[in-house]
Amino acid sequence: MNKKLILVTNDDGITAPGIRALVTEMQLLGEVVVVAPDSPQSGQGHAITLTEPIRLKKVDIFKGIEAYECTGTPVDCVKLAKNVILKDRTIDLCVSGINHGSNASINIIYSGTMSAAMEASIEGINSIGYSLLDFSYNADFSAAASYARRIAHEVLRNGMPESNLLNVNIPAVPMNEIKGIKVCRQAEGNWNETFQEGKDPRGQKYYWLTGEFDHKEHEEDTDLYALEHNYVSIVPSAHDLTNYKAIPELGKFEKL
């Protein structure tokens, strides 16, 4: 039987520990091809490169794995994988991550990790984005990687009939403290942002974005609740940003 073809990407860069952990687990499930940014691209969202050329370089980073580093964004990586590197092949699954830090709640909007997975899902490829709630470069990815493999295996075996994009977040606790998996909805939340002002060595003013995350709700069916209680959260996500509840009320505009 032919091996399943798994595309692996991320937004933290091709040398990040998280993608190495993910590649190791995906090797157990099929043939892996890696296309990832050559440098960190966190917070790039669904950005694509239009005004300058993108370069691809084949690299020998993962033993026995075909891998390419890309000068573009995470979404660029998926587009090039689909339309150039693997253009004559069927990609059975795209996995993105394992991200260093949460992509739960509103963070999915900003996330390069999830945008890469979303781009693949737009192309009709079953896709999963994985994030560990630990920003440290030296984070322990062992539990996150294990759950990444289990979830990917289930998708490869049985598909996702009602969805083709999953946002998976894993709490930063040891394996024996994770209580299991919860399939849930995206919680309401937002960032209360501020800009730190300073001056560079030449005396020029700069601004550095910072802020704190504001939990808007703690309902038991949300990803934030699941993570706070040491569950792995899975949110089936979609591309349609329509606010359907507002359509009847806004119908009044049609009479203007």
Binding-site residue set for a divalent metal cation: 11-12, 42, 99
Report residue 17: phi and psi, to 5°. -60, -35
Q: Which residues, other chains included, contact 29 with Cβ-Cβ below 8 Å and sequence gap of 6+?
A: 4, 6, 149, 152, 153, 156
66-70 and 56-59: which strand pairing? antiparallel
Question: Which residues are known binding-site members?
Answer: 11-12, 42, 99
- Max CA separation in the chain (angstroms): 64
Q: How many CA atoms lie within 13 A of 212 on its CB side?
A: 3
> Could you tell me if 67 and 33 are in contact, meaning their C-beta atoms sit under 8 angstroms apart?
yes
